[in-house]
Structures are given as C-alpha cells and as structure tokens.
Structure 1
Amino acid sequence: MSSNETAYLDLLKHVLENGIKKEDRTGTGTLSTFGYQMRFNLQENFPLITTKRIPFRLISSELIWFIKGDTNIKFLLEHNNNIWNEWAFKKWIESSEYTGPDMTNFGLRSQQDEQFNRLYEEQIDLFKSRILNDADFSRKYGELGNVYGKQWREWKTSNGNTIDQLKEVIDSIKKNPDSRRLIVSAWSPEDIPNMALPPCHTLFQFYVADNKLSCQLYQRSADIFLGIPFNIASYALLTHMIAHECGLEVGEFIHTLGDAHIYLNHIDQIKTQLSREPKQMPTLHLNKNITSIFDFEVSDIEIQDYNPHPTIKAPVAV
C-alpha cells in the first residue's frame, strides 16, 4: 500500500474515531477535529486516491481555471466541469430576476425529495445552458466574485494596483530559491463578503532543497470525503507544474488542515471506502514542450495507469 494513500485513509479514520459533532452553515452537521497534517511524497507517485475514483479531468481543468485568474464558471462548463455550479446557481435563484419554482435550500431538499430533485435538475440544466449561450447572463450570474484565481493573479492593493502573486512566486523560486517568502494567499478579508464561497485552501508556501520543490498548503475548512482528495491532487499537480517550469524535481506536498470535518451524510460512504484495499497510485505526465504554467491546457496534462475502485457518490453541502 502506498504511504500517500495511507496518509489520507488515516485522516478518515482519525475523524471518524475522534471527531466532535458540530453544526455548520449548511445545516447538515459534521464530525469535526481541529488541526491535522498529512505528508505526500511526490517522488513516490502521484497522490490520486484509488479507494474510490477521483475524476482527474475536473481537477486539472479547475486548476487551469485558477491559474488563468478566471472567476466565471463558463470556462468550467465548457470543459464539462460542474463542481462550482451550485454556488453560482444559488446566486441566480436568490436574485430578483429569478421567477422559477422555489429552490430554497436546494442542496438538502434535492437529497430528500425525489420530485423536487427532478425539478432542481431541470432548473440547473436551464441555468447552465444560459451561462454557456447568453453572454450577458453569464457575466452577471456565472461570476463567483474574487475567488481563488483572482487572488492568485490580481490581488488588490490599497493604492489601486494589483499583484500577480503566482507569477511573482515562480520568479522568486527561479531567482531566490532559498527565500522563506515563497507564499501565495487567497484569503483577502476585504473580498470575503463578495465571494460565492470564501477560500477553503487559503495559503500555500513553496520550499526548495536538494533541487526539489515542495509545497505546503494551509486549508481552513476541509470536507474530508468530497473535497480533500481533490485538494491533494490539485496542489500536487500545481507543484509538478511549477517544478517543471523552474527546472526542479518534485519533493513533498504537505497538507495542513484547520477544521477537518466529515459531513454526517457521508459516514456510510466513508465506511465503504475504508473497507476497500488501496491500489497502485498513478503517474503524471506533463507536455514537455510547455515551458510556462500559464500556457498549459487540459490536453497537456495526463494521468497514466490509474485503475481505482468505483466512484462513491455523496451529496455536496452548499
């Protein structure tokens, strides 16, 4: 069994056994612990979980969306990526322009009421179609506010300028790899009220030693079953991409969690996952002809030899 997969499975077990029941903003309820750290050796393999299928295409397209500084779900929908839909849809149904059926608390209601779920699916399909085909609607209701990509690429300053944090940190890795300031922050208190979802993965730092690039992420809020496998793979991929541009090997990805929680409606799914025997983790291949992370497209990123256990479905808490 790969130590990379063990690190994640140990987190699941830890929170199941030690988590405290807490309420949360979604009304779902959680088992929660505060403060946890995992380490992943990127030299060993690519840490894409095998005890359930993780859709890597969604991870790579979302990361490219972040890197581009984009904050509109249109790019994601064009790549058949639906992981941010619910937050944009919530903005639409709560607007004065929405005149469709009552979608209040659609996240929980769609799980509990089959008839409502069919109505919800109809409305979200109509919403996605308008985002893709109506430019004015997309500009207004596809926007999520100044979420991750905006902070990474256009951090607002007090004098009205912007800072391209991601570009600056890559330049610093190349010019001053021993710096202790190789940091990108997504947490801007001024922008929090206008974000569809305040950043869960809030700050990451790079470290260069022995010609290897390592990355540590601090994540304030961690949905362990659905979100964390995506976050692990996403930041491992980002580390590979930046190492590729900077002519470095990869080292470790270190994942530090604040509120690490299991939603109460994910417990059965987690028990299913823990009953499975992990398989060999895959390998990552990047297009060697790409020399800048800002030029990567989804087709330039490939996972090979990924043969996981089947998907385990679970509802998203919105």
Structure 2
Amino acid sequence: MKQFIKNAIPYISTLLLVGLMVGIAELLNEKEIIFPEITALAVGYMVAQKRSWKVNGKRMLLLITICATVGVLIVRYSGLTLFPQMIIAFSFAQILFMFSGTTFAPFVSAIVLPVMMQTKSFIYPISAVVLTILVIGFHQLFLKMEIRQDEEYIPVMLNSKDDIIDTALRIVCVAIVGFVAIYFDFKFVIAPPLLVAFTEFSRPRNKVRNKPIKTVLVITGCALVGSLSRYLFTIKLDLPLTVSALIATLIMLLILTYTKMYMPPVGAITILSMIIPQSSVITYPLQIFVGSVVIILLSRVFFMWRQDKKIYENDYELTAH
C-alpha cells in the first residue's frame, strides 16, 4: 500500500497543478494564465520514472522564461502577420535549442503558443514562470521523499555541423507545413506541442518514431479526450472549465500509463484543447491527427535515414565544454 501511494503522488500532484492553474484562470477570467506546456513538464519531470530530458531545474526555468517572454514580445511589437511570426518564433527556439546545453524541447511551445494564440498580455510569461517553479518544486519534493531518484545533469552539445543541418531542415519543414496549414485555416496542424514533438522525434536515436502508428494513436487520442471533455462538460453541460481539464488530464495520464508511452507533448496537447477557440473544438482532434502523421513522416523521411546511417560526425550528446 505504501508503494502504491508513492506511485500515485506524482499523478495526484499533476492533477492538483492542472486544477490550480485552470481554476485560478477561471476565477480571475484570465485565459492567459493557462500554460498547456506545464502538463508536458509534469509528465516528463514528475510522472515519468526517469526525467524525459537532459536538463536541470535552473536551465528549465531560464529557457521557459526567455521563450514565454520573447513570444509575447513578437506578438506585441513585430507588426507581422501570423505566419512570419510563427517562423521567427520557431527559428528562435531551434537556434536556442542548439546552444541550450540541454535536450529540453518544451520551451519551443512556450514561445510559439503566444504567437499562435496572439497573446499580448505579460500575464502569460508570469504564469509560465510560476507554474514551472511549481513543477521544479514538486520534483525536488519527490527526490526528498525518494519517489524519484536524482539524475546528474551533464550539459550536452547540440551544435555540431549535423545539428545545424537538422535545425535548418526543421525550420524549412515547419515553414512549408505551416504555410499550408495557416492558409487553409487548419493551424493546429502545427500546434505548439506538435512542434515540440517534431523537435524531439527528429533528434538522433529517438525511439518513438519507430512506433509510428502507436505514437499517432496516443497523440490523437489525447487530443480527442481534451476536446470531448471540453465539449461535453463545459460547452454542453455548462460546467466549469476546470472540471473538463481535470477529467481530460486524468484520462490522459491513464492512457500514458496503459500504453507506457510517456510522451510529454501529449500533456500539452490535452490542455491546449481547453483554450483554443470554441469554433475549433470539434475539428481539433482531426487537425492534431493530421499534424502528428506529418511530423512522424517528416521525422522518418528526412531525419531518421541520415541518423541511422551514421552520417553524423559526432555523438549528438557529447559533453559541452
């Protein structure tokens, strides 16, 4: 029973975090407080037995802070339309990824989300920072309670010649897919969590892309859970959005546990369905399905063949100097 309780604490903590975030957003009527990527951080840094990225708390907080702030600044001051804003935000994140000394991809969503949602309020980065601090705090608590084991963080090098090629390829791929998606008003094909997933799937030695059908099903299933929860409980039954978010998060966690596919981006995909325009709720799962198929195909066709043939000159996780 003691072990069962220990295993349940990260799940309960994730639900508490989501309930607190969405509840405060509803209470203050500030949608910008909802930071979907915090659910991804919870999955990768709290729920998963081993953390999903080579990163420590300080760098995680710094990267989220920088990207959330820059995303809002792009919307407020660039004067550009959605598509060029998206490409600038994604390109900035990809370059930062190369020199971050980490494999922590969720900050890609932190900068792209405010651009996609056209968020101009600085409440968004403040919320992102506070919520990230809470995730880091939970993680430290789990270490003290011996629910999780400490893992040494060693900075990694991701700026070799091959990494630069991969970065350029990602930007080109997102630019082409994004142009088509935005042109046809199907923009959630490049939803921020999918861009995080694309960044992770297109990295060397990524194992998820070897299970393309299962990966797409899990991603789409969680998007469907989020949309259905919001549609049934909030739109139809007029219950608080917090109820929808908690139910969706619980089911998402059960899906990840059952499938053993602890992909952090699906947490953000689930919660993103709570803040998209109501007109997009019905088509959201379809858009996520299309987007997930596209990123899996791109990852396998343009990245996996190069990486598996060992064209890389250096190990992609050499210690940074």
- Taking structure 2 as the reference length, the TM-score comes to 0.28
- Taking structure 1 as the reference length, the TM-score comes to 0.28
Q: Which has the higher contact order (CA 8 A, sep 6+)?
A: 1
Larger radius of gyration: 1
If each structure's helix is expressed as a fraction of its own residues, which one has the higher value? 2
